[in-house]
Homo-oligomer: A and B are copies of this chain.
Amino acid sequence: MDKMDTLREQEPISLHQRILADISERILSGEWAPGHRIPFEHELTEEYGCSRMTVNKALSELARTGLIERRRRSGSFVRTPVSQAAVLEIHDIKDEVQELGLPYRYELASHQKRKGTPADRALMELHEAGPVLALRCRHFAGPRPFCLEERLISLVAVPEAAEEAFEEIAPGPWLVGHVPWSAAEHRIRATGADAEIAAALGVEPGAPCLVVERRTWSAEHPVTHVRFTYPADSHTLVARFTPSQAR
């Protein structure tokens, strides 16, 4: 038993969590390099003096987070990181602005209910025809435009949206409270402001902007497409990555 020196006995931590932590430690420290075969379940069973289910729970968890790969008959191996997966937190714009210590203001610029055009349907990946709501609004940080929001909402998926004016509440927070979310795809790119965007954001035409587009589905149905355009200097997205575990 050589584990006494590496752990603190007093903590009420469960055994499978400790096994998981021990193995993560060795992988992240580089002691067990990618490709290394970690001990078999029955070996860990012996080392920790516990049943196989306990070891299995820890290893399954490690496999789920992508730190190891399990192969029947061969054992479990430290994975070589192929593509790093970073977690990008998508906050409400109001919170973002207020965290900067600036007063937030929201303004609806246009509001149009229309029969979905082919362009609308392409943006939302909506296959059937149907009415859509097209919104255009601006979010301000103090006196300056912080971001331009161009949004389409499928009224097939969210008929209640037709009754909402969106004068007081931004479509983002409204949707969060009205639609169960199931999937979203974000596309992030840079672009030069065209004349319309430049006017809306108060920047020169051609000025660099960060564009975040999001498509959202709810149980297979496209719900909304939104494009946020930020002047280059107003916004930075931050994504964090810790391979050991989520949450």
Contacts and interface: CB of A to CB of B under 8 A. Distances in A.
A146 to B, nearest CB: 14
Contacts of A84: 89-90, 181, 184
Nearest to A90: B84
Oligomer copy total: 2
Contacts of A83: 89-92
Interface in A230-247: 230, 232, 235-244, 246-247
A64 to B, nearest CB: 7
Contact of A184 (B207, B240, B244): B240
A77 B125 CA distance: 33
A10 interface: no
A198 B29 CA distance: 39
Contact of A27 (B27, B180, B207, B237): B180
Interface of A: 27-30, 33, 64-66, 80-92, 176-177, 179-192, 206-211, 218-219, 230, 232, 235-244, 246-247
